[in-house]
Structure 1
Amino acid sequence: MTSSIPASSARLSGSPPLQAVLLDMDGTLVNTEDFWWDAEVSVFAELGHQLEEEWRQVVVGGPMTRSAGFLLEATSASIALEELSVRLNERFLERLDRGVELMPGAQRLLTELRAHQVPTALVSASHRVVIDRMLTSLGREHFTHTVAGDELRRTKPHPDPYLTAASVLGADPRRCVVLEDTLTGVTSGEAAGCQVVAVPSVAPIDRSGGRTVVSSLEEVDLGMLRSLVTRS
């Protein structure tokens, strides 16, 4: 007998509701959004420019090329984008050496996902050198895979980072939940077809499009993540 169920639906029906959890890093798992802004303010001060506070919401959550590019255009600073990116990464890494604070609920959630053997990926617009340093604080054992912004041709807000993570984990994006703190990251996750939980850090995120918005990772647990996929 020929089945009337589409092949994709038939494949999904026999698989677990939640196949993977894909997590952003800065501002979502670790309290480092201030670190990036401090690095940007410091480097541009050395170049003779003062950054406007309202620019912070423009650059938060974006890839280095976009954030640094915006600040270069806004200040007309005399430095090449590539050199500026190197200096920003170096200044950020110097700040990391003084310690990194995990966001409330992050350690508990990572421990829970690992205990239940849920595949996870750390998906960040930050460069590989930053991710590798941060994994010392987060614990490499908590992540099945990691995706860095400088390893992709297109990063957030494009869907590529989350599509790449899902593919490597062998998961259907529709059965993945993304955790993000910025609209840039939320847009990336939604464009990839994932369920998205937004945990706003620097700038607010509205509830449009059926996305889930919480005030802290303390509101997120495995049961909730499973329910989002089952409900969808």
Structure 2
Amino acid sequence: MHSRNAPVRPSAVLFDMDGTLVDTEHLWWRAVAEVAQDLGHRLTDADLPEVFGRPVGHTAAYLRRAVDRPVPEARIAADLGSAFAARVAVDVRPRPGVVRLLAELKDASVPVGLVTASPRHVVDLVLRTLGHEWFALTVAAEDTARTKPAPDPYLTAAERLGAEPRTCVAVEDSPLGVASARAAGCPVVAVPSAVPIAAEPGTVVLSSLEEADLALLSRLAAAPVRAPGTRT
């Protein structure tokens, strides 16, 4: 039973994968750069919004438009997936603070979910290194009709865990991921990886997950619910 002064723990903590749990954003960028170069396009910082935090299909469609060549999007998507998976298979590293935070949540019996826009085969590759045992469930790109920035992935995770989204804390690294979680009604801890994220009510921005602990997540889960974009 909770003491009167103890914050209520989150019903669940829902982690994004790429750039949040594991340091794969640089692997994705290299994979996209390789495929883009084969198509005759050189990636620059201007391409960042169409690469990071986006599902494979979105980036494939973007590259197809950028090169203006009759290359099927499905082939570009397949090449992106293969190039990324090859890198993930040999170079997956947990982000700073991740293993400690997962262990703290496990010790406290707080359910943890993995919610990603990456395909299932990439999730499986990552979990071979990170470990399946941390997660009560995983939601991959194939598991919802719409992926991030739509709220569907976080709504699906909360529903499968039997929890209200407002009592589940999402942990994200990209503006699109934050938008997905906030649209679902989840409070968010954001640790930006490649693109800045603005703090706002319901979104706490940290420089590293080494700064996060169960006490912080509990305070977020207990805070009054505000609609995304609401200012105090």
| TM-score computed with the length of structure 2 as normaliser | 0.89
Where does residue 64 of structure 1 map in the other structure?
56
2:75 is equivalent to residue 83 of structure 1: yes
| Partner SS state of residue 98, structure 1 | coil
Where does residue 148 of structure 1 map in the other structure?
140
> Whole-Å Cα distance in 2 between the matches of residues 137 and 57 of structure 1?
28
- Aligned counterpart for 2:12 among listed residues 17, 20, 25: 20
Structure 2 unaligned spans of 5+: 1-7, 225-232
Structure 2 CA distance for partners of 1:18 and 1:40, relative to 1, 3 Å: same
Q: What letter matches 1:141 in structure 2? A: E
- Deviation track 1:42-61 (CA, whole Å, cap 9, x = no partner) reads 11212232223320233210
Where does residue 153 of structure 2 map in the other structure?
161
> Whole-Å Cα distance in 2 between the matches of residues 158 and 223 of structure 1?
28
Where does residue 10 of structure 1 map in the other structure?
none
Where does residue 4 of structure 2 map in the other structure?
none
Q: What letter matches 1:31 in structure 2? A: D
Structure 2 CA distance for partners of 1:76 and 1:128, relative to 1, 3 Å: same
Q: Could you tell me how far 1:77 is from its partner in structure 2?
A: 3.8
> Whole-Å Cα distance in 2 between the matches of residues 116 and 79 of structure 1?
51
Q: What letter matches 2:39 in structure 1? A: L
| Partner SS state of residue 188, structure 2 | strand
Q: Could you tell me how far 1:116 is from its partner in structure 2?
A: 1.3
- Aligned counterpart for 2:89 among listed residues 62, 85, 97: 97
Q: Could you tell me how far 1:17 is from its partner in structure 2?
A: 4.2
Q: From the two aligned structures, give the one with the greater helix fraction.
A: 1
- Aligned counterpart for 1:129 among listed residues 103, 121, 146: 121
Any conservation in 1 of the 2:41–2:66 contact (CA below 8 Å)? no
> Which deviates more from structure 2 when the two are superposed, residues 172-181 or residues 206-215?
206-215
> Whole-Å Cα distance in 1 between the matches of residues 44 and 72 of structure 2?
20
| TM-score computed with the length of structure 1 as normaliser | 0.89
> Which deviates more from structure 2 when the two are superposed, residues 43-52 or residues 184-193?
43-52
Any conservation in 2 of the 1:125–1:156 contact (CA below 8 Å)? yes
Where does residue 38 of structure 1 map in the other structure?
30
Identical residues among aligned pairs (%): 47
- Deviation track 1:50-101 (CA, whole Å, cap 9, x = no partner) reads 2233202332101112222122212224321111111111111111232211
Q: Could you tell me how far 1:150 is from its partner in structure 2?
A: 2.2
Where does residue 218 of structure 1 map in the other structure?
210
Q: Could you tell me how far 1:193 is from its partner in structure 2?
A: 0.5
2:40 is equivalent to residue 48 of structure 1: yes
Where does residue 188 of structure 2 map in the other structure?
196
Where does residue 9 of structure 1 map in the other structure?
none
| Partner SS state of residue 112, structure 1 | helix
Q: What letter matches 1:112 in structure 2? A: E
> Whole-Å Cα distance in 2 between the matches of residues 61 and 22 of structure 1?
16
> Whole-Å Cα distance in 1 between the matches of residues 97 and 166 of structure 2?
25
Structure 1 unaligned spans of 5+: 1-15
Q: Could you tell me how far 1:208 is from its partner in structure 2?
A: 2.8
Taking only aligned residues, the RMSD between alpha carbons, in angstroms, comes to 1.3
- Aligned counterpart for 2:176 among listed residues 184, 188, 197: 184
Any conservation in 1 of the 2:202–2:220 contact (CA below 8 Å)? no
Any conservation in 1 of the 2:187–2:202 contact (CA below 8 Å)? no
Structure 2 CA distance for partners of 1:107 and 1:17, relative to 1, 3 Å: closer
Residue-pair matches, total: 217
